């Protein structure tokens, strides 16, 4: 009886977790895509896009524009991070802060330290995000990130994306 209770409690806990998690292949969820993972000299550059497939005011299945994107990094990746940038066209890049700390604007969503890309989306146009490391990492298809938008029911949500796994050297 105890085993059944523990299994049922675990299932309910997992169900509660996954119900709050957005999947990036749904029209009612932002899409996060790893565009490239390139070697540039002795560094590795990872570039993603975040896209809003259904922009609107947040009602009837629409999504508000993204305010910013927060990613959690493995500790080895935090130590190897040497640059972060964002772009609205994939050509012209702006430097982004490379501070890893709590983002208190999503304090109700997570208490982990994150790399905050403080640039969002506008309409259906993708926003590009780049992180540059002085090391290489495996792919992790279940890296965690949070998207913050205009507020309301869609204030911030957990998203899985393909990010850094374990260090390769």
pLDDT digit string, tens, across residues 96-113:
999 999 998 887 788 899
Q: Which residues contact 15 (CB under 8 A, 6 or more apart)?
A: none
Task: Return the beta strands (E) in 62-155 as ranges.
Answer: 66-71, 81-87, 94-95, 100-101, 114-117, 127-133, 137-149
pLDDT at res. 7: 36
pLDDT digit string, tens, across residues 31-84:
999 999 999 999 999 999 999 999 998 888 889 999 999 999 999 999 999 999
pTM, whole model, 2 decimals?
Answer: 0.82
All structural domains of the chain: 23-167 (2.60.40)
């Amino acid at each position: 009886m105890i085993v059944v209770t523990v299994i049922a409690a675990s299932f309910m806990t997992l169900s509660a977790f996954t119900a709050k998690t957005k999947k990036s292949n749904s029209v009612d969820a932002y899409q996060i895509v790893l565009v490239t993972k390139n070697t540039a000299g002795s560094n590795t550059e990872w570039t993603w896009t975040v896209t809003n497939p259904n922009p609107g005011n947040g009602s009837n299945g629409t999504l508000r524009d993204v305010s910013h994107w927060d990613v959690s990094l493995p500790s080895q990746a935090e130590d190897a991070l040497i640059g972060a940038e964002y772009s609205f066209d994939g050509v012209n890049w702006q430097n982004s802060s490379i501070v890893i700390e709590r983002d208190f604007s999503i304090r109700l969503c997570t208490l982990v330290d994150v790399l905050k890309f403080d640039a969002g989306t506008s309409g259906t146009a993708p926003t590009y995000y780049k992180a540059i490391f002085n090391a290489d990492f495996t792919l992790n298809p279940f890296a965690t990130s949070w998207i913050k938008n205009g507020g309301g029911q869609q204030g911030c949500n957990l998203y899985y994306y393909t990010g850094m796994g374990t260090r390769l050297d």
